[in-house]
């Protein structure tokens, strides 16, 4: 499902114009990105959490040049779904 599909689905279900829904969805995503770049996690009860994870410094190998490189400590965004969300997907997704 793409962002356009999400906008279409919300517009169809709520009766709100697509342009308004698109601005709202983009504003939500921008707010989440801004919060994470400032180091603040975003918690949505019943859905999940957008969190900032810290990756430790590690040593890696460049196999083409057979050299060792050090990857410095850095932060990455992550999503952790809520338990109810995980349970719902587990129960309802058909193979």
How far, in Å, CA of 78 to CA of 41, rounded?
A: 10
Mean pLDDT over 29-45 rounds to: 96
pLDDT of residue 93: 87
How far, in Å, CA of 82 to CA of 39, rounded?
A: 20
Give SS3 for 13. Answer: helix
pLDDT digits (tens, 9 = 90+) for 76-91: 999 999 999 999 999 9
pLDDT of residue 89: 93
Domains of the chain and any CATH numbers:
3-92 (4.10.520.10)
Q: How far is CA 16 from CA 5, 19, 35, 71, in A?
A: 15, 9, 27, 47
Q: Which residues of 58-84 are buried (b: 16+ CB within 10 A; e: fewer)?
A: eeeeeeeeeeeeeeeeeeeeeeeeeee
pLDDT digits (tens, 9 = 90+) for 6-20: 999 999 999 999 999
Mean pLDDT over 67-77 rounds to: 94
With a cut of 70, say whether residue 95 has pLDDT above it: no
């Amino acid at each position: 499902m793409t962002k356009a599909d999400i906008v279409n689905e919300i517009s169809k279900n709520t009766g709100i114009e697509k342009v308004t829904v698109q601005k709202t969805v983009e504003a939500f995503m921008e707010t989440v990105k801004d919060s994470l770049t400032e180091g603040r996690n975003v918690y949505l009860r019943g859905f999940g959490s957008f969190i900032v994870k810290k990756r430790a410094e590690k040593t890696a190998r460049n196999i083409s040049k057979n050299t060792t490189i050090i990857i410095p400590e850095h932060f990455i965004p992550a999503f952790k779904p809520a338990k109810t969300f995980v349970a719902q997907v587990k129960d309802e997704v058909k193979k």
